[in-house]
């Protein structure tokens, strides 16, 4: 029936995908590093001198077997937290990570209370 | 001469604003229900003068009249005509003039199209909108005047920045401003509604089309900006969570929430206070966005040239806007009775708003947190794509599911919750997902859920679409199309992200590189001279080992003379199933070139999905036109 | 008076936001690593430009203060700051030069032409070693003490003002 046809069309789309592995680990790291001399670009996107040197350093460290987190820590110790796009979860950045979820919960509570209060009114 | 004409026209606009405010204020006291003709005429004149001033600026650009500083700084006689014209709004001062034009035009049309609404409400809207206009005109005259003259008149202009000479970038600002600035009118209307006590369904009807118009153009503006970034900027991405991009996304969340809430206000006369808050918030976010982008407070690849005085002025204007809206809101706030059922459409729209506000808060905090931290603790951090992806993506899953269930509920009350058909659809979506999972390679649990929920929404929407086309149900076509587009967008972005192949390596001419199932041959370099640039063109052959096909790609490095810039043009081969993307950049003092190669599945479907979302919006506008 | 409580909170938040914006305007949005003063250098091993012995962190422990200056023959501002390095060296301050992403012949010619203020010239052909020093552009100089702690970072060329500061503090 209709549903079957739809499912077949989707299958056909995916077949053309040619099973691929996930992104290169290196590219992931490059994307998370900020180019210090550019105006808002990651090391992956930048063509600057600094970006190309940094890529070499990251390649070396990955070959040595360092994990992504170790590499980030190393670079943060040399250049400060500004160089990493994923802000680490520490005291400083606590509110950054917590506030959105706090808001989500409060918003949900608010709606819940609103509807609850209304059920009450309806019952009365 | 042109600069005097331009100045005169702007002064006339300002003078008319004052006159309109004064006359409207007087009219408020008169008892008749009709607005006198003079007010209409004054508004029409105001429109005419504003548009004329903008045309004067455009003419100055076409004629390369370098006696105007603005033309001198942003144009060049060798620029093609189309880009000369686009140069008029492609800079800070010109775009500000465009803002003023949109404020004025929307003001006039809101006045005449809402002829069957309360006079007091319409006059107050006019007054407040004109206060906004006044604020912007004063800003323009004092700080950002596109008609400032230059003496002696230089013989040639400075502005031939090649990156800005692109068709998508030329239309991106006007589209975006229709969204950004269009929401000013319902900001004013919201204030007027509180002052005039013109609430409920009538108010909803007065702003409904305007919300829709600003939503359509805001969405379209964002899409065009992303398309431009993908084709022109050479990093293969289309969204970077850059502060300037976020500044355009913040109002978008608010307008989307508002668009849904206005429905509740219209159909059920409920959520009035929330609708008011959203109306006020949207334009406040727009002005905040403008502040962030033009004041130089942020470090971004998009920022206009910054000037601290600009920032101060916009901040003062923003503060006045926020404080006055808060004061009026609190003064005129009346407690509402939220009398709706749990199992009703209203609840789901409320939930949609909850999600939209969450996304808005997240992007807001992410964008502003570095500023806060820097000001309070003198430490600089970066907040980029990883943060937004981690926080936002998981919540998209329930949103997609709710987009299926929500519209099924009726207004007021609904009895059904789960139908067997829906369960079959979910299972079908799970099935497709498992197929992908096992045959094509595993991916994270989260990605599984994203695929399932987006496919679920797509299936459901397609079935609804079929019903509409078979005339079984008549209404809701716009909603189905927009929701379908959203489902598709999430799915294709998910696949693209999951299955993209990228590699970054250095090659010399004659080298070849093998990676994954591709072989890349760097054949040679050609030099070419064009009218305003020199190009270094690389000839690459990309061979797909799996199906033994070869594509040739020719990325370029362009060297412009005036001003001296280097741009990197990506070679992109777009196909239905994926895009091949190749950029080449030179490495100083070396024979090697840095090559970035990407295979991006379903890229064009991302654009198609996004445009489908907007299509729904425009269809809805057409529907309303036909209704009236 | 529930509404009053909310009102106050909202006004406070709004004022807070606006004040932060105001203060943010006064700040410079470009980034530099000057704040990383006070960190300790990790151990390193840099080859000499003259095929002699390599230099390690132990070398630095012998001097009360050492300036490590990153330069290259192709770098124009490096030429301009060079005279200050010569003056500092003549005043008995020890300077280690690190030749960054350069060709040995070009570097030696540069020093021949402009003078050699360096006690030791190391080379960093691919630029990777400089990353360990937290360098991101040249010219850049860092001043370390005998405990390997970075006490000052100079981003960009040394100018008259910085030169005088260094002279005063390091004597």
Contacts of C3 in chain B (CB under 8 A): 330, 333
Provide the domain limits for residue C97: 33-170
Report whether the peptide linkage leading into residue B152 is cis, meaning its omega lies within 30 degrees of zero.
yes
Cross-chain residue pair B379–A92, CB shorter than 8 Å: yes
CATH number of residue C138's parent domain: 3.40.30.10
Average pLDDT over residues A77-92: 91
Q: What is the pLDDT, as a whole number, of residue A14?
A: 56
Q: What is the pLDDT of residues C25-64, one digit of tens each?
A: 888 777 888 778 888 888 899 999 888 888 888 888 888 8
**Min CA distance, C1 vs chain B (Å)?**
13
What pLDDT score was predicted for residue A110?
A: 87
Q: Is residue C50 part of a domain?
A: yes
The minimal CB distance from B299 to the residues C23, C25, C30 is found for: C30
In chain A, residues with a C-beta closer than 8 Å to the C-beta of C35 are: 80
Question: Which parts of chain B have pLDDT scores under 70?
Answer: 160, 301-306, 339-340, 412-423, 436-443, 472-474, 562-563, 628
State the pLDDT at residue B391. 92
Is residue B173 within 8 Å of B90, Cβ to Cβ?
A: yes
* Disruptive mutation site among B307, B372, B377, B381 for chain C (greatest number of C CBs within 10 Å): B372
The CA distances from residue B177 to A115, B12, B126, B174, B612, in Å, are: 38, 23, 20, 5, 21
Q: Does A68 touch chain B (CB under 8 A)?
A: no
Is residue A19 scored above 50 in pLDDT? no
The pLDDT of residue A6 is: 59
Residues of A in contact with C101 (CB under 8 A): 49, 53
For testing the chain A interface, which of C131, C132, C134, C142 should be mutated: the one with the most A CBs within 10 Å? C131
**Among C7, C31, C74, beta carbon nearest to B380:** C31
The answer to whether A83 and C135 have CB atoms below 8 angstroms apart is: no
**pLDDT, greater one: B305 or A68:** A68
What distance in Å separates the CA atoms of residue B234 and residue B567, rounded to the nearest whole number?
Answer: 9
The reply to whether residue A53 touches residue C131, judged by beta carbons under 8 angstroms, is yes
Q: How confident is the model at residue A23 (pLDDT cuts 50, 70, 90)?
A: very low
C31 touches chain B (CB under 8 A): yes
The residue with tokens 């000057």 is C34
Cα dihedral across residues B331, B335, B336, B342: positive or negative = positive
A77–C131 C-beta distance less than 8 A: no
pLDDT tens-place string over residues B398-414: 899 889 888 877 776 65
A93 in contact with B, Cβ within 8 Å? yes
- pTM of structure: 0.91
Q: Measure B284 CA to nearest chain C CA, in Å.
A: 12
Contact B381/C at CB under 8 A: no
Give residue limits of the domains in chain A: 23-87, 89-124
CA distance B298 to chain C (A): 6
Q: What is the ipTM of this complex?
A: 0.86
Q: Which of A34, A36, A52 to mutate to test binding with chain C, by most C CBs within 10 Å of its CB?
A: A36
CATH of domain A23-87: 1.10.8.640
Q: Where are the alpha helices (DSSP H) in B470-578?
A: 477-499
List chain C residues with CB under 8 Å of B330: 3, 7
Residue B400, CA distances (Å) to B22, B123, B352, B355 in order: 50, 41, 10, 11
Dihedral sign computed on CA atoms, order B322, B324, B326, B329: negative
| DSSP one-letter code for C143 | E
Contact C136 A56 (CB under 8 A): no
For chain A, say whether C75 makes contact (Cβ under 8 Å).
no
pLDDT at A98 > cutoff 90: yes
Neighbouring C-beta atoms of residue A10, cutoff 10 Å: 21
- Ramachandran sector of residue B271 (left: φ over 0; alpha: ψ -120 to 50; beta: rest): left
E strands, chain C, where?
45-46, 55-56, 65-71, 94-100, 120-124, 140-145, 150-155
pLDDT at A18 over 80: no
Does the CB of C21 have a partner CB in chain A at under 8 Å?
Answer: no
Residues of chain C with pLDDT under 50: none
Token pair in block for residue B215: 């939503």
Q: Does B26 touch chain A (CB under 8 A)?
A: no
Q: Do B358 and A107 touch (CB under 8 A)?
A: yes
The pLDDT value recorded for residue B408 is: 79
Question: Is residue A16 predicted with pLDDT exceeding 60?
Answer: no
Residue C96, CA distances (Å) to B448, B489, C37, C158 in order: 56, 56, 18, 15
What 3 state SS string does B587-621 have? Answer: CCCCCCEEEEEEEEECHHHHHHHHHHHHHHHHHHH
Q: Is C36 on the interface with B (CB under 8 A)?
A: no
Residue A21: per-residue pLDDT: 44
Return d(Cα B101, Cα B106) in angstroms, integer: 8
Q: Is the minimum CB–CB distance between C20 and chain A shorter than 8 Å?
A: no
Q: Do B333 and C24 touch (CB under 8 A)?
A: no
The whole-number average pLDDT for the span A87-92 is 89
How many C-beta atoms lie closer than 10 Å to residue B387's C-beta?
A: 23
Nearest to B375 among C7, C14, C23 (CB): C23
Cβ atoms within 10 Å, residue B356 = 22
> Into how many domains does chain C fold?
1
């Amino acid at each position: 029936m209709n549903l079957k046809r739809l499912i077949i069309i989707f299958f056909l789309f995916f077949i053309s995908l040619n099973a691929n592995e996930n992104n290169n680990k290196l590219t992931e790291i490059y994307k998370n590093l900020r180019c210090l001399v550019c105006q808002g670009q990651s090391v992956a996107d930048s063509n600057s001198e600094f970006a190309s040197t940094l890529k070499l350093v990251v390649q070396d460290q990955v070959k040595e077997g360092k994990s992504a987190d170790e590499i980030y820590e190393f670079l943060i110790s040399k250049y400060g937290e500004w160089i990493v796009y994923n802000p680490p979860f520490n005291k400083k950045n606590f509110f950054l990570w917590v506030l959105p979820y706090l808001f989500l919960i409060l918003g949900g509570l608010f709606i819940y209370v609103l509807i609850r209060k209304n059920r009450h009114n309806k019952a009365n | 001469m042109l600069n005097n004409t331009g100045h005169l026209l702007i002064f006339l606009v300002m003078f008319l604003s004052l006159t309109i405010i004064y006359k409207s204020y007087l009219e408020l006291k008169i008892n008749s229900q009709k607005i006198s003709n003079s007010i209409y005429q004054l508004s029409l004149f105001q429109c005419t003068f504003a548009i004329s001033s903008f045309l004067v600026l455009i003419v100055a650009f076409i004629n390369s009249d370098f006696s105007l500083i603005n033309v001198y700084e942003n144009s060049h006689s060798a620029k093609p005509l189309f880009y000369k014209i686009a140069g008029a709004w492609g800079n800070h001062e010109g775009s500000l003039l465009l803002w003023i034009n949109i404020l004025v035009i929307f003001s006039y049309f809101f006045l005449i199209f809402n002829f069957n609404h309360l006079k007091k409400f319409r006059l107050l809207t006019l007054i407040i909108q004109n206060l906004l206009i006044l604020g912007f005109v004063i800003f323009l005259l004092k700080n950002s005047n596109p008609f400032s003259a230059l003496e002696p008149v230089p013989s040639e202009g400075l502005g031939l920045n090649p990156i800005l000479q692109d068709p998508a970038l030329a239309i991106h600002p006007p589209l975006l401003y229709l969204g950004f600035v269009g929401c000013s009118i319902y900001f004013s209307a919201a204030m007027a509604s509180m002052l005039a006590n013109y609430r409920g369904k009538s108010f909803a009807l007065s702003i409904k089309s305007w919300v829709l118009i600003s939503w359509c153009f805001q969405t379209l503006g964002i899409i065009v900006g992303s398309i431009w970034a993908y084709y022109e900027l050479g990093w293969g991405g289309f969204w970077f969570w850059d502060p300037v991009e976020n500044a355009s996304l913040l109002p978008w969340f608010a307008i989307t929430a508002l668009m849904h809430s206005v429905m509740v206000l219209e159909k059920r006369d409920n959520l009035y206070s929330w609708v008011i808050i959203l109306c006020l918030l949207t334009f406040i976010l727009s002005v905040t966005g403008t502040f962030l982008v033009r004041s130089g407070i942020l470090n971004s690849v998009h920022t206009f040239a910054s000037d601290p005085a600009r920032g101060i002025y916009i901040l003062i204007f923003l503060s006045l806007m926020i404080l006055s809206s808060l004061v009026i809101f609190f003064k005129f706030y009346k407690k509402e009775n939220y009398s709706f059922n749990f199992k009703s459409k209203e609840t789901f729209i409320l939930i949609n708003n909850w999600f939209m506000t969450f996304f808005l808060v997240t992007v807001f905090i992410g964008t502003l947190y570095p500023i806060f931290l820097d000001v309070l603790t003198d430490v600089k951090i970066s907040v980029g794509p990883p943060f937004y992806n981690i926080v936002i993506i998981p919540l998209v899953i329930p949103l997609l599911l709710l987009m299926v269930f929500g519209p099924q509920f009726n207004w007021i009350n609904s009895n059904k919750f789960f139908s067997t058909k829906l369960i079959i659809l979910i299972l079908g979506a799970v099935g497709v997902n498992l197929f992908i999972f096992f045959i094509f390679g595993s991916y994270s649990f989260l990605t599984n859920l994203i695929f399932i929920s987006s496919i679920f929404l797509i299936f459901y929407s397609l079935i609804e679409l079929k019903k509409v086309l078979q005339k079984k149900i008549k209404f809701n076509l716009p909603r189905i199309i927009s929701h379908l587009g959203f489902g598709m967008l999430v799915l294709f972005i998910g696949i693209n992200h999951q299955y993209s192949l990228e590699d970054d390596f250095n090659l010399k001419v004659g080298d070849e590189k093998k990676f994954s199932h591709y072989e890349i041959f760097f054949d040679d370099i050609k030099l070419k001279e064009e009218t305003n640039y020199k190009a270094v063109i690389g000839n690459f052959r990309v061979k797909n080992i799996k199906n033994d096909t070869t594509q040739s790609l020719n990325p370029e490095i362009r060297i412009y003379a005036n001003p001296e810039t280097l741009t990197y043009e990506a070679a992109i081969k777009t196909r239905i199933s994926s895009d091949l993307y190749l950029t080449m950049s030179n490495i100083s003092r070396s024979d090697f070139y840095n090559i970035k190669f990407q295979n991006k599945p379903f890229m064009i479907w991302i654009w198609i999905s996004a445009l489908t979302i907007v299509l729904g919006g425009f269809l809805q506008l057409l529907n309303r036109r036909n209704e009236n | 008076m529930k509404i009053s409580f909310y009102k106050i909170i909202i006004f406070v938040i709004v004022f807070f936001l606006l004040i932060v914006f105001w203060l943010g305007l006064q700040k410079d949005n470009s980034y530099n690593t000057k704040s990383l003063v006070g960190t300790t250098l990790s151990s390193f091993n840099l080859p000499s430009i003259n095929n002699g012995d390599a230099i390690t962190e132990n070398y630095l422990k012998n001097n009360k203060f050492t300036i490590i200056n990153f330069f290259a023959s192709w770098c124009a501002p490096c030429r301009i700051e060079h005279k200050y390095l010569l003056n500092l060296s003549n005043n008995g301050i020890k300077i280690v030069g690190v030749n960054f992403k350069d060709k040995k012949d070009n570097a030696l010619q540069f020093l021949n032409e402009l003078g050699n203020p360096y006690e030791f010239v190391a080379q960093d052909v691919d630029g990777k070693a400089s990353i360990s020093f937290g360098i991101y552009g040249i010219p850049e100089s860092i001043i370390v003490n005998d405990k390997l702690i970075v006490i000052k970072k100079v981003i960009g060329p040394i100018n008259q003002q910085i030169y005088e500061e260094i002279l005063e503090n390091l004597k």
